[in-house]
C-alpha cells in the first residue's frame, strides 16, 4: 500500500497516545521539583493596596512567596503584543502595561498578583489562599459595546476611553457612494460570541534553573517554542537565548490558546532562579477558564448593497472588538489584518470599507482562537448574503454564484490577492451531496411531524499559511512568518526531519514522514520527525493559521531538494554516470535505462564514509532550508447545514451537515477529514452551545462545564465531507491548509439554517434552545 | 482538597457516631457532588464518612407493591433493576437520564436527594410518587423532606438509609436538559399514585422542587396530554438565569408536562 501523498496512512503517533505513553509537560519532573500556585484577583477591577505574605510564608512546605514588585524589581519586562496596528490617524496603538504579576492594579478576575512556591501542589495552593491582598475595588466593565461610553471605567491611563486603536481598511467614501446608489441594501447587527478555547490538556510549565551556568530550561505547553524563547528572552529579559532552552513536548491541543506567552511561564522561570528549584505549575480547569486567552467577541454592524441584478456593489462594516484587560501576543492583528482582509468572501466586491475599534474591558485577554478573525469575517459576509437573498427573494445559492470570483488571480479591495479556486465546483458538489433538490420534500415531511426544517449555506474563504514575511512586516507584524526545516540522512539511510512546525494534534509525525518517505522511496518507519525543542531544531515559527502544511512542509521540500541534488552528485560519481540520468525510486538510486544502481542506504554510507566522494564535496548528508511563502493560501468551500427545530422548546437538531472543501493538495485524507470534523464541531459549538458570559461587573458566570456548554458527540450529526480541489500555485506541494476551515465556515451555515427554519432572521449565537424559542415567539 | 480523615463506616450507628463527634464531618456516598466541591475548596470536612460499605445500604428489593431502594444504590442500578422496571418504570428512566455513564455508576439516590440540587431529577420523581425517605431516626414523607435550594429536613447527624416508593397507577418523567451540565433545565414528573394525582417540577423553581396546582387539577380532571395544553403556567417564582428565563421555563413546564403525560 502506498504511504505517499494522498494515502490514508494511520497516524504513527497514535500508538503512543492511545497507550498512555505520551509525555506532556505535567509528566516532566525537574531536579528538586517545587510547585507554584498563583494568587489571583477575585475582582474584575481593583487597586492593590498591599500584600501581606506573613501567614502564607510561615505555612508548611512554603519555599517562597513572590510578588510583582519583586518581579519588576528583578528587571522582568512587561508582556507585549507583538503586532503593531496603528489608528487611521496614524497614531500607534495604546498598549497598556501588563506585568506577569500585577503591581498596583488588577484588571480581570484571574489577574495574578503573587505566586507561592512550595514543596507540593497542595501546600502551594493552601498557602496561596493565605496570602492577604488588600484590594480597593474599582468599578468594572465587561462589555465591549459599553467600553467606549463616557461612563465606562478606564482601564489603562495611556488608553483614553479604553480605545486601543481606531483602524480602517478600504475606501470609505467610494463604499458610501456605492451603497447610496444600490437597488437594495441589507443591514444587520451581528455579534460574534466570546469563546473559551478548552484544549484538552490544560496549560502547564516546568522551569528548571541551573545555577552553575545560569541556564534555564522551560518545558511548556506551546504551539511555538522558538517564538516563546525569542519573546521570553528579548522582551521579558528572563535570560539570553543561548541560556534558555524551551521544549514543548507532547501538547494536547491548542486551538491558538498555546501560541501566546502567559504570565505563568515567565513567573515560573523567574521563580526557579529565585528559589534555585525546579518550579512546576499546571492549570486546573477552573484556572484555564480565567486565564487562557479567549476568542472572538466582535460586535458589528454591516451594510451590503446590491444592484438590481443582485450583484454586490459595496460592503461597509463597523466592528467593535473586545481585547480584554490587556493586549495578548497577537491580539491586535486578529480583528484587523486577519479579519477585515477577508471581508470580500468568495465574491467580486468593488467597494469595501471596514472600521474597527479595539477596546479594553475587565475580562480575560482575547487573542487568536481557531480561525482567528476569519470566522468573524465569514460570519459577517455569509449571514449578510443569506439575509440579502431572503430580502430580495432570490435563491441564496444562486445569489452567491452570481457574485463568485471566477478569474484568478483576483485582487480584492482589502489587500488579499486570491491565487486559485473554483467556487462553483465546491457549491455544486455540496449541493449535490446535500441533495438540496430534495429539501422541499424533506421540509414537508418534517412539518407533518411538527418540526420546522431549514437549510443554510456558507461559502467561506480564508487565508492560511501565514505568510510572506515582508508582507506581514509591512502590516506591523513583529516577526517573520517563514518556516525552517533540516533533513538529516543518517549513514544507514534512515532520515530525521527537524521542523520548526509544532504538532499538538495535527499528526505531523505521519504526514511529514509521508512526503519524505515518498520522495526518497523509503519506508515510513525509516523517517522520524523531530520538533518542539529549541536545542534540537535551530529555529521555527510554529503551528497556527493552518501553516504547517503550506509553509512547514514547503521548507521540508526545499531541504529535500538540496539533499536530492547531493545524492545525485554522489550517485553519478560512484556509478560513473551523468547526474541527469540518476533516478531515485523504490529504495534505490539508479542510472536510468541501465542496471547500474546503488541502494539508498549505500548513498548515505558513501556520504559519511567519504572514501569515494566527488572532488571538493563535503562529507555527510544533511541539508537545511528556510521557506518564506510568496502569498497567503486561500482554502475555500461551501458548507450546507440542515436542521430541524422543535417549535415547542426551541431545541434544534442538526440533521445533515455537508462540507465541500478546496484545500489544494491533500497529503493524508484521513487526517484532513479529522481536521474538518473537529473544526465543524467547534463551529457548531460556537453556533449553538458555547458562550463565555460575564456579569456586568466582570464576574465570570461560565467558569466551569456546568455552565459553559462544550459540544458533545451527541450534539453532532455524521458529517458528509467532500473535496473539490484546485492546486495552490504558490508552494511546491500545492497545499492550502485545512486546520481552521471547519471552524470558519460552519457557524453561518448553522445560523442560516435555523433562521430559515423558524422564519426569523434575528438570531444571535449561540442559538441555544432558549434563544431559538425566543426568536420563534418574536416572529409570531 | 484540604487534608481530612477518611472513615469507612461499618454500620449506620458507626456513621452517626462519627457524624456526631467528628470535625465538621460529612457523609460520602458516590462523591459526584461532594468531591468536586471539596476539590474547589468550597467544602472542607475534617472527617469524611464513607457509607457505601454499610451492609444493606445499597440494593433494591420489592416488598409487595413497595420498592425499597437502599440510599447508596447507584443511578445505574436503579436504571437497570427489574423490580423498578416492574413497579415504577418512571424511576428507571429518570435514573437512566442522569448525567453521563460515569456519574450514573458512582452517584447514589441518597446522595442526590440529600444534596437536593434544584436541578436534580430525583426530587421531582420522589415528590410526584409521594415516596418515603427512611433515615437513621425516622420516616420522612417526600412532601416534608425537600425544603428549598440544597436544603432538606435532614438533621446534622441523620443518615438516609432507604427510599420507599409505592407502585403508582401511572407515572412518567420528562426532562429538558440544560445544555452544559445536562441537569434538568426543567424536569416534570406526572404521577397518579399513593399521593393522588401529582405534578412535580424540578429545575425551574427559585426555591427548588415544587408541585404545580394548575397542572395537577387539570390532570385530576382528565389524564391526557391535551388537558395540560390549556393550563396557564405562570413565570412567577421561577428561576431566571443564563440558561433560561422564567418565561422560557414556564413554557417548558407546560410542554414537558404534556410529554410526560403522553409517555405515561
Ligand atoms: C457531570 C455530572 C452530571 C450530573 N448530572 C446530573 C443530572 O442530570 N441529574 C441529577 O439529578 N444529578 C446529576 N448529577 C449529580 C449526581 O446525581 C450526584 O450523584 C448526586 O447529586 C450526589 O450523589 P452522590 O452519591 O455522588 O453523593 P455525594 O457527592 O457523595 O454526597 C452529596 C451530599 O449528600 C450527602 N449524603 C450522601 N449520602 C447520604 C446519606 N445516605 N444520608 C445523608 N446524606 C448523604 C453528603 O454528605 C453530601 O453532602 C451530576 C453530577 C455530575 C458530576
Gap from CA of B260 to ligand 1 centroid (Å):
24
Report how far residue B258's alpha carbon sits from residue B236's, in angstroms, rounded to the nearest whole number.
20
- B33, B38, B179: which to substitute to probe chain A, counting the most A Cβ within 10 Å? B179
Instruction: Map grid coordinates 520548526 to a residue.
Output: A500
Q: pLDDT band for position A578 (50/70/90)?
A: very high
- Closest CA relative to residue A481, chosen from A425, A546, A418: A546
Q: pLDDT band for position A465 (50/70/90)?
A: confident
- A769, A778, A780: which to substitute to probe chain B, counting the most B Cβ within 10 Å? A769
- Sort strands B139-141 and B132-135 into parallel, antiparallel or unpaired: antiparallel
Q: pLDDT band for position B63 (50/70/90)?
A: very high
Kindly state if the Cβ of B172 falls inside 6 Å of ligand 1: no
DSSP-derived secondary structure for B244-262: B-HHHHHHHHHHHHHHHHH
User: How confident is the model over A289-309, as pLDDT tens digits?
Assistant: 999 999 999 999 999 999 999
- A195, A770, A775: which to substitute to probe chain B, counting the most B Cβ within 10 Å? A770
User: How confident is the model over A140-162, as pLDDT tens digits?
Assistant: 999 999 999 999 999 999 999 99
Q: Whose CA is nearest to atom 11 of ligand 1?
A: B120
Mean pLDDT of the region A338-356 = 98
- As a whole number of Å, the end-to-end CA separation of chain B is 44
Kindly state if the Cβ of B111 falls inside 6 Å of ligand 1: yes
Kindly state if the Cβ of B78 falls inside 6 Å of ligand 1: no
Report how far residue B174's alpha carbon sits from residue B258's, in angstroms, rounded to the nearest whole number.
9
- Cell numbers found for residue B55: 451492609
Q: pLDDT band for position A504 (50/70/90)?
A: very high
- As a whole number of Å, the end-to-end CA separation of chain A is 60
Q: pLDDT band for position A228 (50/70/90)?
A: very high
A134 touches chain B (CB under 8 A): no
Ligand 1 atom with least separation from CA of B34: 29
Q: Whose CA is nearest to atom 1 of ligand 1?
A: B99
- Nearest residue, CB atoms, B176 vs list A129, A649, A707: A649
* pLDDT at residue B99 is higher than 80: yes
Strands of A244-247's sheet, edge to edge?
A62-67, A112-118, A33-40, A278-282, A204-210, A215-220, A244-247
Chain B residues touching A773 at Cβ < 8 A: 248, 251
ipTM: 0.96
Ligand 1 pocket test: pick from B54, B95, B99 the residue with the most ligand atoms within 8 Å of its Cβ. Answer: B99
pLDDT the model gives residue A320: 98
Percent of chain A surpassing pLDDT 70: 100
Report how far residue A488's alpha carbon sits from residue A458's, in angstroms, rounded to the nearest whole number.
44
Gap from CA of B262 to ligand 1 centroid (Å):
29
- With vertex at residue B169, the alpha carbon angle to CA B204 and CA B211, rounded to the nearest 5 degrees, is 20
B244 touches chain A (CB under 8 A): yes
CB B98 within 8 A of CB B107: yes
Q: Whose CA is nearest to atom 14 of ligand 1?
A: B99
Gap from CA of B32 to ligand 1 centroid (Å):
5
Q: Which residue of B has its CA nearest to A648?
A: B255
CB A130 within 8 A of CB A59: yes
Q: Strand ranges (DSSP E) for A602-704?
A: 622-627, 636-645, 652-662
Gap from CA of B111 to ligand 1 centroid (Å):
4
User: How confident is the model over B142-196, as pLDDT tens digits?
Assistant: 999 999 999 999 999 999 999 999 999 999 999 999 999 999 999 999 999 999 9
- Nearest residue, CB atoms, A693 vs list B3, B40, B242: B242
* pLDDT at residue A546 is higher than 90: no
A706 touches chain B (CB under 8 A): yes
- B242, B244, B259: which to substitute to probe chain A, counting the most A Cβ within 10 Å? B242
Chain centroid to CA B123? 3
Kindly state if the Cβ of B43 falls inside 6 Å of ligand 1: no
* pLDDT at residue A1 is higher than 70: no
Report how far residue B95's alpha carbon sits from residue B111's, in angstroms, rounded to the nearest whole number.
13
Measured in angstroms, the CA of A683 and the nearest CA of chain B are apart by 16
User: How confident is the model over A561-573, as pLDDT tens digits?
Assistant: 999 999 999 999 9
Gap from CA of B28 to ligand 1 centroid (Å):
9
Kindly state if the Cβ of B212 falls inside 6 Å of ligand 1: no
User: How confident is the model over A74-94, as pLDDT tens digits?
Assistant: 999 999 999 999 999 999 999
Q: Which of A125-129, A389-393, A468-472 has the lowest mean pLDDT?
A: A468-472
Ligand 1 pocket test: pick from B27, B72, B181 the residue with the most ligand atoms within 8 Å of its Cβ. Answer: B27
A774 touches chain B (CB under 8 A): yes
pLDDT the model gives residue A388: 98
Kindly state if the Cβ of B57 falls inside 6 Å of ligand 1: no
Gap from CA of B84 to ligand 1 centroid (Å):
20
CA distances to A237, A275, A675 from A669, rounded to whole Å, are 44, 50, 10
User: Do the Cβ atoms of B248 and A774 come within 8 Å?
Assistant: yes
Instruction: Map grid coordinates 491548542 to a residue.
Output: A254
- Cell numbers found for residue A415: 489587500
pLDDT the model gives residue A471: 86
A286 touches chain B (CB under 8 A): yes
From its phi and psi, is residue B196 left (phi > 0), alpha (psi between -120 and 50) or beta?
left
- Cell numbers found for residue A140: 468594572
pTM of the model: 0.97
Q: Write the CB contacts of A279 (distance below 8 Å, at least 6 apart in sequence).
A: A30, A33, A34, A35, A36, A117, A206, A207, A268, A271, A272
Gap from CA of B115 to ligand 1 centroid (Å):
6
CA distances to A60, A289, A507, A690 from A144, rounded to whole Å, are 44, 19, 37, 18
Percent of chain A surpassing pLDDT 90: 94
Mean pLDDT of the region A27-35 = 97
Q: Write the CB contacts of B133 (distance below 8 Å, at least 6 apart in sequence).
A: B113, B126, B139, B140, B141, B142, B145, B160, B163
User: Do the Cβ atoms of B248 and A770 come within 8 Å?
Assistant: yes
3-state secondary structure A708-725: CCCCCHHHCCCEEEEECC
**Binding-face residues of A in 643-672 toward B, CB within 8 A:** 648-651
Q: Which domains does chain B have, with CATH numbers?
A: 5-50 (3.30.43.10), 60-166 (3.30.465.10), 170-263 (3.30.390.50)
Q: Which residue of B has its CA nearest to A702?
A: B242
Q: Which domains does chain A have, with CATH numbers?
A: 14-138+200-253+258-291 (3.90.1170.50), 298-467+631-779 (3.30.365.10), 482-627 (3.30.365.10)
pLDDT the model gives residue A9: 96
Kindly state if the Cβ of B34 falls inside 6 Å of ligand 1: yes
B223 touches chain A (CB under 8 A): no
User: Do the Cβ atoms of A286 and B248 come within 8 Å?
Assistant: no
Ligand 1 pocket test: pick from B26, B97, B111, B136 the residue with the most ligand atoms within 8 Å of its Cβ. Answer: B111
- Closest CA relative to residue A240, chosen from A208, A262, A214, A205: A214
Chain B residues touching A693 at Cβ < 8 A: 242
Chain A residues touching B40 at Cβ < 8 A: 286
- Cell numbers found for residue A556: 521540508
Report how far residue A191's alpha carbon sits from residue A606's, in angstroms, rounded to the nearest whole number.
63
pLDDT the model gives residue A467: 75
User: Do the Cβ atoms of A649 and B180 come within 8 Å?
Assistant: no
Ligand 1 atom with least separation from CA of B177: 8
Burial class (CB in 10 A: 0-12, 13-18, 19+), B264: buried
Chain centroid to CA A179? 34
Ligand 1 atom with least separation from CA of B43: 49
Report how far residue A507's alpha carbon sits from residue A513's, in angstroms, rounded to the nearest whole number.
10
- Cell numbers found for residue B141: 414523607
Amino acid at each position: 500500500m502506498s504511504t505517499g501523498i494522498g494515502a490514508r496512512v494511520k497516524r504513527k503517533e497514535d500508538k503512543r497516545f492511545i497507550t498512555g505513553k505520551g509525555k506532556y509537560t505535567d509528566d516532566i519532573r525537574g531536579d528538586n521539583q517545587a510547585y507554584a500556585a498563583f494568587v489571583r484577583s477575585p475582582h474584575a477591577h481593583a487597586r492593590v493596596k498591599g500584600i501581606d505574605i506573613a501567614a502564607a510564608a510561615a505555612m508548611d512546605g512554603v519555599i517562597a512567596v513572590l510578588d510583582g514588585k519583586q518581579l519588576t524589581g528583578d528587571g522582568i519586562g512587561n508582556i507585549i503584543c507583538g503586532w503593531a496596528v496603528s489608528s487611521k490617524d496614524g497614531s500607534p496603538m495604546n498598549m497598556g502595561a501588563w506585568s506577569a504579576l500585577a503591581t498596583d492594579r488588577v484588571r480581570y478576575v484571574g489577574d495574578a498578583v503573587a505566586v507561592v512556591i512550595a514543596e507540593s501542589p497542595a501546600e502551594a495552593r493552601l498557602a496561596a489562599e493565605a496570602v492577604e491582598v488588600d484590594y480597593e475595588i474599582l468599578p468594572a466593565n465587561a462589555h465591549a459595546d459599553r467600553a467606549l461610553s463616557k461612563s465606562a471605567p478606564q482601564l489603562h491611563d495611556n488608553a483614553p476611553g479604553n480605545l486601543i486603536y481606531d483602524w480602517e481598511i478600504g475606501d470609505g467614501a467610494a463604499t458610501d457612494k456605492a451603497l447610496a446608489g444600490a437597488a437594495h441594501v441589507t443591514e444587520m447587527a451581528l455579534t460574534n460570541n466570546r469563546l473559551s478555547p478548552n484544549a484538552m490538556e490544560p496549560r502547564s510549565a516546568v522551569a528548571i534553573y541551573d545555577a552553575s551556568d545560569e541556564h534555564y530550561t522551560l518545558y511548556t505547553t506551546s504551539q511555538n517554542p522558538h517564538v516563546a524563547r525569542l519573546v521570553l528572552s528579548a522582551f521579558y529579559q528572563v535570560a539570553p537565548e543561548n541560556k534558555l532552552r524551551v521544549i514543548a513536548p507532547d501538547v494536547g491541543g491548542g486551538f491558538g490558546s498555546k501560541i501566546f506567552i502567559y504570565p505563568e511561564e515567565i513567573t515560573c522561570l523567574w521563580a526557579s532562579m529565585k528559589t534555585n528549584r525546579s518550579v512546576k505549575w499546571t492549570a486546573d480547569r477552573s484556572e484555564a477558564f480565567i486565564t487562557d486567552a479567549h476568542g472572538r467577541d466582535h460586535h458589528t454592524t454591516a451594510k451590503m448593497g446590491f444592484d438590481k441584478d443582485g450583484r454586490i456593489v459595496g460592503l461597509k462594516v463597523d466592528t467593535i472588538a473586545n481585547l480584554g484587560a490587556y493586549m495578548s501576543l497577537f491580539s491586535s492583528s486578529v480583528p484587523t489584518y486577519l479579519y477585515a482582509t477577508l471581508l470580500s468572501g468568495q465574491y467580486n466586491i468593488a467597494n469595501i470599507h471596514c472600521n474597527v475599534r479595539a477596546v479594553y474591558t475587565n475580562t480575560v485577554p482575547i487573542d487568536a482562537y481557531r480561525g482567528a478573525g476569519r470566522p468573524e469575517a465569514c460570519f459577517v459576509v455569509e449571514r449578510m448574503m443569506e439575509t440579502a437573498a431572503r430580502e430580495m427573494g432570490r435563491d441564496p445559492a444562486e445569489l452567491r454564484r452570481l457574485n463568485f470570483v471566477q478569474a484568478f488571480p483576483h485582487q480584492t479591495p482589502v489587500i488579499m490577492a486570491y491565487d486559485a479556486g473554483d467556487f462553483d465546483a465546491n457549491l455544486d458538489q455540496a449541493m449535490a451531496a446535500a441533495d438540496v433538490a430534495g429539501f422541499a420534500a424533506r421540509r414537508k415531511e418534517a412539518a407533518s411531524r411538527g418540526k420546522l426544517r431549514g437549510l443554510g449555506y456558507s461559502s467561506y474563504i480564508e487565508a492560511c499559511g501565514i505568510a510572506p514575511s515582508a508582507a506581514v512586516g509591512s502590516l506591523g507584524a513583529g516577526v517573520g512568518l517563514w518556516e525552517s526545516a533540516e533533513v538529516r540522512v543518517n549513514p544507514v539511510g534512515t532520515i530525521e526531519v527537524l521542523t520548526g512546525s509544532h504538532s499538538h494534534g495535527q499528526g505531523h509525525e505521519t504526514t511529514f514522514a509521508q512526503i519524505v518517505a515518498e520522495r526518497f522511496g523509503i519506508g515510513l518507519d525509516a523517517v522520524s520527525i523531530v520538533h518542539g525543542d529549541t536545542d534540537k531544531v535551530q529555529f521555527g515559527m510554529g503551528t497556527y493559521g493552518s501553516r504547517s502544511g503550506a509553509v512547514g512542509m514547503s521548507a521540508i521540500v526545499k531541504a529535500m531538494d538540496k539533499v536530492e541534488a547531493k545524492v545525485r552528485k554522489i550517485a553519478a560519481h560512484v556509478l560513473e554516470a551523468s547526474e541527469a540520468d540518476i533516478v531515485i525510486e523504490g529504495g534505490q538510486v539508479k542510472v536510468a535505462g541501465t542496471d547500474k544502481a546503488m541502494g539508498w542506504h549505500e548513498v548515505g554510507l558513501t556520504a559519511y564514509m567519504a572514501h569515494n566522494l566527488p572532488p571538493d564535496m563535503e562529507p555527510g548528508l544533511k541539508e537545511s532550508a528556510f521557506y518564506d511563502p510568496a502569498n497567503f493560501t486561500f482554502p475555500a468551500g461551501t458548507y450546507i447545514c440542515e436542521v430541524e427545530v422543535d417549535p415547542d422548546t426551541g431545541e434544534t437538531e442538526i440533521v445533515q451537515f455537508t462540507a465541500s472543501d478546496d484545500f489544494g493538495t491533500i497529503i493524508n485524507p484521513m487526517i484532513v477529514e479529522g481536521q474538518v470534523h473537529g473544526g465543524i464541531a467547534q463551529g457548531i459549538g460556537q453556533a449553538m452551545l458555547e458562550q463565555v458570559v460575564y456579569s456586568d461587573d466582570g464576574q465570570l458566570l461560565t467558569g466551569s462545564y456546568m455552565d459553559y456548554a462544550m459540544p458533545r458527540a451527541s450534539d453532532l450529526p455524521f458529517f458528509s465531507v467532500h473535496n473539490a480541489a484546485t492546486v495552490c500555485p504558490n508552494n511546491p506541494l500545492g497545499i492550502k491548509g485545512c486546520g481552521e476551515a471547519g471552524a470558519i465556515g460552519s457557524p453561518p451555515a448553522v445560523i442560516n439554517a435555523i433562521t430559515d427554519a423558524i422564519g426569523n432572521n434575528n438570531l444571535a449565537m449561540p442559538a441555544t434552545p432558549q434563544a431559538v424559542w425566543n426568536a420563534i415567539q418574536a416572529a409570531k | 482538597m484540604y487534608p481530612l480523615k477518611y472513615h469507612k463506616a461499618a454500620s449506620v450507628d458507626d456513621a452517626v457516631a462519627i457524624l456526631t463527634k467528628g470535625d465538621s464531618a460529612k457523609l460520602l456516598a458516590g462523591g459526584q457532588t461532594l468531591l468536586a466541591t471539596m476539590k474547589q475548596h468550597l467544602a472542607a470536612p475534617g472527617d469524611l464518612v464513607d457509607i457505601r460499605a454499610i451492609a444493606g445500604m445499597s440494593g433494591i428489593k420489592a416488598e409487595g407493591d413497595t420498592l425499597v431502594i437502599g440510599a447508596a444504590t447507584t443511578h445505574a442500578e436503579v436504571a437497570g433493576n427489574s423490580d423498578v422496571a416492574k413497579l415504577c418504570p418512571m424511576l428507571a428512566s429518570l435514573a437512566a437520564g442522569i448525567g453521563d455513564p460515569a456519574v450514573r455508576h458512582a452517584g447514589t439516590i441518597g446522595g442526590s436527594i440529600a444534596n437536593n440540587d434544584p436541578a436534580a431529577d430525583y426530587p421531582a420523581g420522589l415528590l410526584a410518587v409521594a415516596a418515603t425517605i427512611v433515615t437513621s431516626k425516622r420516616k420522612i414523607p417526600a412532601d416534608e423532606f425537600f425544603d428549598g435550594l440544597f436544603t432538606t429536613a435532614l438533621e446534622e447527624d441523620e443518615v438516609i438509609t432507604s427510599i420507599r416508593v409505592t407502585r403508582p397507577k401511572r407515572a412518567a418523567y420528562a426532562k429538558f436538559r440544560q445544555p452544559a451540565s445536562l441537569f434538568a433545565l426543567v424536569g416534570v414528573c406526572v404521577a397518579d399514585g399513593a399521593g393522588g394525582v401529582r405534578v412535580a417540577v424540578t429545575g425551574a423553581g427559585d426555591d427548588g422542587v415544587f408541585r404545580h396546582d394548575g397542572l395537577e387539577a387539570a390532570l385530576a380532571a382528565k389524564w391526557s396530554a391535551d388537558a395540560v395544553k390549556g393550563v396557564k403556567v405562570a413565570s412567577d417564582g421561577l428561576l431566571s438565569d443564563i440558561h433560561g428565563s422564567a418565561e422560557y421555563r414556564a413554557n417548558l413546564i407546560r410542554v414537558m408536562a404534556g410529554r410526560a403525560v403522553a409517555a405515561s
